[in-house]
Structures are given as C-alpha cells and as structure tokens.
Amino acid sequence: QWNRDTVDLSAYANDTIRLRFHFTVGTNTAFRNDCAIDDVVVRQTPTCPQPTNLSADSINLDSALITWTPADSGGTFEVEFGQTGFGLGNGTRTTTTADSFILNNLQSATTYDVYVRDICGPGDTSFWTGPLVFTTPACDTSEQCNFSIELFDSFGDGWNGSEIAVI
C-alpha cells in the first residue's frame, strides 16, 4: 500500500531533525517481514498547496471527465495528460479555472496518465498531483458482452506463470 503524507516541520526551524520509520510485523501474511520506504523528500513547505482526490469519471471511447478537490477556492489549474509513461512537460497541457476538465480526442483501448497542479500566482505553482491512470474502453458499452470462462490446471503446477488473453 502506498501512503503519501506531509508533515509540517516549521516548528523545528534551525534545529537538527531525524526521520524515523517504524513498522509492525504482521503475523497472518506471507510477507510479514517486507517493508519498503522510498521517495522520502524533505523540502520547504510550498506556498501553493496541491489539489487532492484526483479521479476519472464518465470514461468513454474518446473522452473522460477528470475531477479533483482544490486546496483553495478560486484558483487556476494546469492539467497535463498523455499516454501512460509520458514525462511531465511532454504531454498535452491546458489550464482551467474549474475543478474538473473533460479530456477529448482520446484513443480507445488506451491507458492515460493525468496530472493536475494549482497555479496560485505568477511563478507560484503547487506540486503536481498524479499520476491518475485510467484506460478508455475498446468499444461502446452497448457492443460489449459478458463471458464466463472456466479454467482448470490439468497439469497441477498452479499455471506456472502462464497467461490467457481474451480478445
């Protein structure tokens, strides 16, 4: 599970601080000794807080509604999107004053990454929120069918990394 947290350390200005991470070993899991910590950053608290709750709704063949919760009201937001894996600065960028935006002219059966940030003023932007990852459907809902596929492992090796593709 990925947890993102922000801690205000301004009360410790001009002091030396130590970061300590503590985890509890679970007993009912095969991964009870696994713990991973990465992407720890200590930086000055931004003056422009970033949006939260980035989500995609009404995902269609060629469009999706992207929504978020602004940290402040009345802001301007920058939205950047592209096919999964694009680098920030290399996607399609646009600005809006609303807390939602409709992405149009998308390709069907394609996975996209979306990022949003707040523009609080000239030269004052929040950190990017994202990526939000979503996939456009391959065909209209009216053309889709439900299938049940029964599989069994006749060899007895737990499928041993095999896969099946349904096209």
Render pLDDT for 33-76 as a digit per residue (tens, 0 to 9): 667 787 787 877 778 989 999 999 999 999 999 999 998 777 89
Task: List, in sequence order, every residue forming a beta bridge with 129; answer none if it has no partner.
Answer: 116
pLDDT of residue 1: 53
CB atoms inside a 10 Å sphere around CB 106: 18
Q: What is the percentage of the chain residues whose pLDDT exceeds 70? A: 86
pLDDT for res 75: 85
Bridge partners, residue 81, by sequence? 92, 114
List the end-to-end C-alpha distance of the chain, in Å, as a whole number. Answer: 31
Q: What angle is formed at CA 120 by the lines to CA 118 and CA 125, rounded to 5 degrees? A: 60
Q: What is the pLDDT averaged over residues 101-128?
A: 95
CA dihedral 86, 88, 89, 93 (to 10 degrees): 90
* Confidence check: pLDDT of 163 > 80: no
Give the pLDDT band (50/70/90) at residue 30: low
Q: How much is the mean pLDDT over the chain?
A: 85
Say which residue the tokens 């999964």 belong to: 84
